[in-house]
Structure 1
């Protein structure tokens, strides 16, 4: 009986330590919804870029129309803000249900370690836009986002690390096949988010 109580106490202590060291309020459905937002944004971008076509094709030239670039950037920003807003709302709700603080050492660590690659990637992408290097924007988005997930995974679920590695792999493939940037962007930010969001939700 004493051994059972000791094991239960150790399990409770371990759970408390994990809660303080890991941000476990991240909601799986936020990943699913982020993926849906990305697919909707990708469809809008596809209709904008491939106006004359009826299916995805290899682009032998890059988009250089400033009006189209601005519209695509606005679509990406809308997807980003919707995804971040949804993640904050659902994570806050989950934290309240579990009676846990949303802002603690783990969430601070997640914000810092994931934020540095994201901020660096965002600034680099702005430079690419300014310099007209449009063909490598999609790979850069995927690679730096993947690096952010891998870096931040130390402060949240381990599955996030595999999502990050998958995003990096897709980014490298997108760099190798620049004509399919929109397709890889849709797969990375859309399909992978939905798949990993469902995995996290059911776990």
Structure 2
């Protein structure tokens, strides 16, 4: 057997091991759409706050509740779109959408995300609005880094970028909203585009 045959066999074994331990059917388009949803939601929330509350949010006010609803809708549509596009990609690649690797991915992604979401709700209830944007970015970034061990390893770079933006936002709370827009909007579009042309194509 030639060296080329050995290398081919090793490559195939490595590919099979990678498929069995990692969920690799994540869609780059879902990242692009999540970024677009975030930009649309941020635009509506910005207009709402500046039009009806003099740039101030009050926990018991309808503007705050509407802004939280917009945030929920952004997350909901991002998740639904991600599931649809990822399922379509998995079927195209003859891969299972729900197996041990996807379960590990989801579990490791949700731990930091759920903890971060609960912590953000706690500080919101205490009226500390300035830190929430940065904390969302930090915990989301940690969730991506934590999940990258069970998926395409490149998502950890998006996670690191989100963490850095979150730390900057906590250092400069007045820019938290705009850094949130960069992190959840622009970074998702840029990263999703890169992933689409690197893996989906």
Residue 11 of structure 1 is matched in structure 2 by: 11
Give the structure-1-normalised TM-score: 0.91
| Deviation string, structure 1 residues 66-120 (Cα, Å, up to 9, x no partner) | 2221111100000001001111101100000000101122211111111100010
Q: Which moved more, 1:4-13 or 1:185-194?
A: 4-13
Task: Please give the per-residue CA displacement for 1:127-171, whole angstroms capped at 9, x wherever unaligned.
Answer: 122222211111111110001001111111222111011101111
In structure 2, C-alpha distance between the alignment counterparts of 1:67 and 1:170, rounded to whole Å: 29
CA separation of 1:178 and 1:62: change in aligned 2, threshold 3 A: farther
Q: Are 2:131 and 2:170, in contact at CA under 8 Å, matched by a contact in 1?
A: yes
Deviation at 1:181, TM superposition (A): 1.8
What does residue 184 of structure 1 align with? Answer: 179
Aligned residues: 197
Determine if the alignment matches structure 1 residue 160 to structure 2 residue 131: no
Unaligned regions of 5+ residues in structure 2, if any? none
Q: Distance in 2 between matches of 1:173 and 1:68?
A: 26
Rounded to whole Å, the distance in 2 between the matches of 1:111 and 1:183 is: 28
Aligned to 1:172: 167
- Counterpart CA distance in 1 for 2:63 and 2:172 is 21
Displacement of 1:62 in angstroms is 4.7
Cα pair 2:49 2:56 within 8 Å, conserved: no
CA separation in 2, counterparts of 1:39 and 1:74? 15
1:20 aligns with 2:20: yes
Structure 1 distance, partners of 2:62, 2:128, is 16
Instruction: Tell me what 1:34 maps to.
Output: 34
Match of 1:44 in 2: 44
1:63: Cα distance to partner? 2.1
Tell me, yes or no, if the aligned pair for 1:139 and 1:181 is still in contact at 8 Å: yes
Q: Which residue, 37, 57, 61 being the options, matches 1:63? A: 57
Match for residue 100 of structure 2 among 105, 110, 133: 105
Indicate if the aligned counterparts of 1:62 and 1:134 stay in contact, CA closer than 8 A. Answer: no
Q: CA RMSD in A?
A: 1.8
Determine helix, strand or coil for the equivalent of 1:64.
Answer: coil
Question: Structure 1: 5+ residue runs without aligned partners?
Answer: 53-58
